[in-house]
Chain A
Amino acid sequence: MASLLEDLRLVARGWRWTHRPLVPRSAERFLPAPDPKEFPTAWARTPLARAVREGVQRFVLRPLVWTETEPRVEGLDHLEGLRPPVMFVANHASHLDAPLVLCSLPRRWRERTATAAAADYFFDVLWRAAATALVFNAFPIERKGARRGTGTARRLIEERWNLLVFPEGTRSRDGWLQRFRLGPARLAVEYRLPVVPVAIRGAYAAMPRGRGWPRPGRLPVSVRYGPPLHPEEGEDARGLNARLLRALERLWDEDATSWWASLRREAEGKTPSLAGPPAARWRRVWEASRPLPRPRPRPVWEAGESTTRGGGEER
């Protein structure tokens, strides 16, 4: 027994159990390429985890988001006729974005959708990694450095999971669209995935970066799904990316005005850019954080006729 304790002490000290293990200085050059291991998330797609997730999303997340904000969901009919795997691509300005998309999707879509999340932030510490993986069915992606592999994403696509991706890579600081990274488009082209653009408006106003909770007052937000884009024969990632950006801008315009008006404007090449006004930072933020106009209160006799309020019912 004594020798076991001795060994235990030797190992505990040698490998710095109370600390982090370190690498001898002369061995640093020979470290294997930085830890290809990523946080394992396969468990989050087991039937049990899926059941738990469904419960959390349905009975916690959705009620929470839907009481703290006032989401309006449109365009789910575009999913008609699609089959997994598809890629949902949305603009990203708020922590509300992922819950909004996931909870507004019909159940059969939602439970087959995984979310790409930044490895350096969401998968940094264990509890956050586990929680993110469980609640959002998230998988880690590196947004920087040599490790930017898409191994997990590929595996997921091959296993027929839908992906929810924010190609901006990070939440916008001023509410306007940032440059799209090429990775998602590349994947879509490679696997010929249909890409469904999702425009989220008002989320920045409701819960901008830096806030831990939505602003009080049940601000309206809008989630609008657009018609899917199919990568075309011979189209490269850049082309698809540009098309995607245009589609998102048009969708945003549609949400702000109307479908018809947005089409007209698109034809005239006058779709407003999502890069925001080329003005001082305060004006950009000012513009972006302006709450969406509240949907006009509906006369009682119109109720039930449309799905605009609190939409996103299960199909």
Chain B
Amino acid sequence: MLALELFRSVPRYLAARAVGERLPGLLAGPLAPVRLVNRDEPLPPGEGWARVRPRLSGICGSDLATVAGRASFYFSPLVSMPFVPGHEVVGELHDDLDDLPAGTRVVLEPVLSCLARGLDPCPSCTAGRRDRCDRVTVGHVAPGLQTGYCADTGGGWGEVLVAHRSQLHPVPDHLPDERAVLVEPLACALHAVLRARPEPGATVLVVGAGTVGALCLLALREFTQAGRVLVVAKHGRQRELARRLGATDVVGTAEAVAALRRATGALRLTPERGLPFLLGGVDVALDCVGSRSSLDLALRTTRAGGRVVLAGMPESGVDLSPVWFRELEVVGAYAAATELTDGGPVREFDLALELAREAPLDGFVGAVYPLARWREALDHAFSAGRLGTLKVAFDPRRG
């Protein structure tokens, strides 16, 4: 089968780190540690597994960070090289699997937890928190926190992957592929918002209005009673979209601190070096970008005792002084899970599947490429914001 494979390449990693910032075009060019290969189709490693043929699979920010060499080395033992990336997948079941007949359209919940690995559930899994599974490196598939980081399962950027029944959610017929492929990121956004737990009427800051930011905004409006929602967005189309999705104020990156100060009536201080910060500020901030500057902004504009949620995979090297001084609560939000809410436990994927039906998600998938044009696709995804695109996806069926 044809697949894009991410492989280990020290020279490319070093080069990408060195010049990737200045010559971003090279990141999708000769510096990408990615190649198009003919791999063997992955085989179901055990009971409850089946092959899935992806119909659409998104390019996620974390994938791009990995390609660009910006992902933390923390993750290196959690993946197995070479792997086929792609964990935002809507596909078609190739084999019969328990209650699902072959041909069923499914979305993938990518976490490879105890259940999928054929292990007795760890305490987290028992509690339904598969995102917190402790056994993501053992069991009968290679290490990999998710499908799309594991050498044995294949991933969305290939023609075939294998998935465990526990990872699959059938897609209702009326949900088109372009929406179904957004179910995974939507579930993650939901997870981030439920982790953020804004009080009714709270002022919430969303940094970034890419896919994650937009979906978080959507989830905030749908599932919480947050009061003001301020969105920091860099590009024109993103601002427009944020307004449409119910943001109270939308501000650009440059005037973010000033606008937030005005909105919250805080005091603004300017240190000798670095960004100005606020005394006072928003109640809850969601960092939906995962860059150093975005997290910095979130930390510096959250009120004392407030909460900062990491909704995107964070970059290292952020100044943690505000966390200490303002006694901030920093909350991670990785993947999707079963979250305990006031109304009892809910599976975020189910919620997301439901929400995807009605939410204004048209046009989110802004470009679909065949695998063979992967360089174009990655390049497009790297500058998606500027190009007015939210989600770039592969259609592996088109080769």
Show the binding face of A for B, using Cβ within 8 Å: 16-20, 22, 25, 28, 34, 118, 120-121, 124-125, 143-145, 169-170, 173
Contact = CB atoms under 8 A, between A and B. Distances in A.
A144 B375 contact: no
A173 B38 CA distance: 10
A17 B372 CA distance: 21
Given A22-B376, A25-B366, A173 B2 contact: no
A280 to B, nearest CB: 12
Given A18-B23, A125-B30, A169-B38, 19 more contacts: A16-B25, A17-B25, A18-B25, A19-B25, A19-B379, A20-B25, A20-B28, A20-B376, A20-B380, A22-B376, A22-B387, A34-B373, A120-B2, A121-B37, A124-B36, A143-B38, A144-B2, A144-B399, A170-B38
A25 B28 contact: no
The prevalent SS among residues of A at the interface is: loop
B40 interface: yes
A25 B390 CA distance: 13
A147 to B, nearest CB: 9
B35 interface: yes
Contacts of A173: 40
A120 B373 CA distance: 10
A236 to B, nearest CB: 27
Contacts of B35: 121, 124
Contact of B399 (A19, A121, A145, A169): A145
B28 A19 contact: yes
Interface string B373-396: 101100110110001000000000
B367 interface: yes
A21 to B, nearest CB: 8
A118 B2 CA distance: 12
Contact of B36 (A18, A22, A120): A120
A204 B38 CA distance: 17
Given A144-B399, A145-B399, A20 B38 contact: no
B280 to A, nearest CB: 41
B240 to A, nearest CB: 16
A17 B23 CA distance: 11
B24 interface: yes
Residue with the highest number of chain A CB atoms closer than 10 Å, among B30, B370, B373, B399: B399
Interface in B151-194: none
Contact of B24 (A17, A19, A125, A144): A19
Contacts of A145: 370, 372, 398-399
8 contacts: A18-B23, A18-B24, A19-B383, A22-B379, A124-B35, A143-B38, A144-B372, A145-B399
Nearest to A170: B38
Nearest to B382: A19
Nearest to A174: B40
A34 B370 CA distance: 10
Interface string B7-24: 000000000000000011
Nearest to A19: B25
Nearest to B32: A125
B159 to A, nearest CB: 9
A18 B25 CA distance: 5
A145 B379 CA distance: 23
Closest 4 CB pairs of A and B: A18-B25, A19-B25, A145-B399, A20-B379
Nearest to B376: A20
A121 B36 contact: yes
A144 to B, nearest CB: 5
A144 B30 CA distance: 23
Residue with the highest number of chain B CB atoms closer than 10 Å, among A25, A28, A173: A25
Contacts of B376: 20, 22
A120 B24 contact: no
B25 A25 contact: no
Nearest to B22: A18
Contacts of B2: 120, 144
A212 B399 CA distance: 27
A171 to B, nearest CB: 9
A19 B383 CA distance: 9
Contacts of A125: 30
A20 B375 contact: yes
Nearest to B377: A20
